[in-house]
């Protein structure tokens, strides 16, 4: 398709979702949260009583899993067994297990294919860990977001998520398949000193330079 993808990657609490929402509104893009897809698989695995560290069992469950993605009101929606997912994907149980599930190559293969499929619906802005490196390596529009540890810690507290985040970042950065890293051609944007508005302006400027 001739649709365009903007890739936003970075660690937890770096401001990806906030920036993606702002840019999606300004540029009329479909906002896709790839983390929700990894969270949905993890939630289902836990629901079925499967050990998320047992890769073979997770893969067996994945084969049977009825997971679907679509677009509603300009953003991605994930369905499990036909039902729309919601806040349950943000539970501490999911936070604590999602990195193990996301490290399994078979899980990533299935979800990456679904993620690429969003381009059929229109121009997208997709946030995650491997969007610029793996999902859309050929897009010229890539931003790697970061923020200093103190700022990120404050944001985690604000969303009620403290303990698991550092472990997740470490696991997401060290895994063999599609680790979190700065993509070739990505512009690095540190949001520490930015407000939402100034960070969005800075990102727009970087995207203009990349186009």
- Interface contacts to ligand C5P, rule CB under 6 A: 12, 34-35, 38-39, 98-99, 102, 128-131, 168, 172
- Compute the least distance from the CB of residue 62 to ligand C5P, in Å: 15
- Compute the least distance from the CB of residue 26 to ligand C5P, in Å: 21
- Compute the least distance from the CB of residue 128 to ligand C5P, in Å: 2
Place of tokens 């991605």: 76
Residue 75 tokens, joined = 């953003």
Residues making up the annotated binding site are 10-18
- Compute the least distance from the CB of residue 43 to ligand C5P, in Å: 11
- Can you tell me the distance from the alpha carbon of 171 to that of 174, in angstroms, rounded to the nearest whole number? 5
CB atoms closer than 10 angstroms to residue 134:
19
Q: Is 11 exposed, middle or buried (0-12, 13-18, 19+ CB in 10 A)?
A: buried
Residue 95 tokens, joined = 């936070």
Please, which residue, 169 or 200, has the CB nearer to ligand C5P?
Answer: 169
User: Distance of CA 28 to CAs 32, 34, 73, 74, Å?
Assistant: 13, 18, 11, 8
- Compute the least distance from the CB of residue 182 to ligand C5P, in Å: 14
- Compute the least distance from the CB of residue 23 to ligand C5P, in Å: 16
Residues making up the annotated binding site for ATP are 10-18
Interacting residues of 70 by C-beta distance below 8 A, sequence separation 6+: 76, 77, 79
Please, which residue, 15 or 35, has the CB nearer to ligand C5P?
Answer: 35
Residue in 16, 194, 28, 201 with CA at minimum distance from that of residue 124: 28
- Can you tell me the distance from the alpha carbon of 28 to that of 199, in angstroms, rounded to the nearest whole number? 18
Please, which residue, 43 or 123, has the CB nearer to ligand C5P?
Answer: 43
Residue in 144, 207, 149 with CA at minimum distance from that of residue 181: 144
Residue in 24, 1, 209 with CA at minimum distance from that of residue 126: 24
Please, which residue, 34 or 76, has the CB nearer to ligand C5P?
Answer: 34
Please, which residue, 68 or 171, has the CB nearer to ligand C5P?
Answer: 171
Please, which residue, 99 or 139, has the CB nearer to ligand C5P?
Answer: 99
């Amino acid at each position: 398709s001739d649709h365009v993808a903007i890739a936003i990657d970075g660690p937890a609490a770096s401001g990806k979702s906030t920036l993606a929402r702002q840019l999606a509104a300004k540029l009329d893009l479909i906002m896709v949260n790839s983390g929700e897809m990894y969270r949905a698989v993890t939630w289902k695995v836990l629901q079925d009583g499967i050990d998320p560290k047992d890769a073979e069992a997770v893969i067996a469950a994945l084969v049977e899993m009825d997971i679907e993605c679509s677009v509603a009101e300009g953003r991605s929606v994930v369905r499990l067994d036909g039902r729309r997912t919601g806040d349950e994907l943000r539970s501490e149980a999911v936070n604590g297990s999602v990195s193990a599930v996301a490290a399994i190559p078979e899980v990533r293969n299935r979800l990456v294919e679904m993620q690429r499929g969003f381009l059929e619906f229109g121009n997208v802005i997709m946030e995650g860990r491997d969007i610029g490196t793996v999902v859309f390596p050929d897009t010229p529009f890539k931003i790697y977001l970061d923020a200093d540890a103190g700022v990120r810690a404050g944001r985690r507290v604000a969303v009620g998520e403290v303990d698991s985040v550092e472990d997740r970042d470490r696991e997401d950065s060290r895994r063999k398949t599609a680790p979190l890293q700065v993509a070739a051609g990505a512009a690095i944007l540190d949001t520490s000193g930015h407000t939402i508005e100034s960070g969005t302006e800075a990102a727009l400027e970087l995207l203009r330079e990349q186009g």
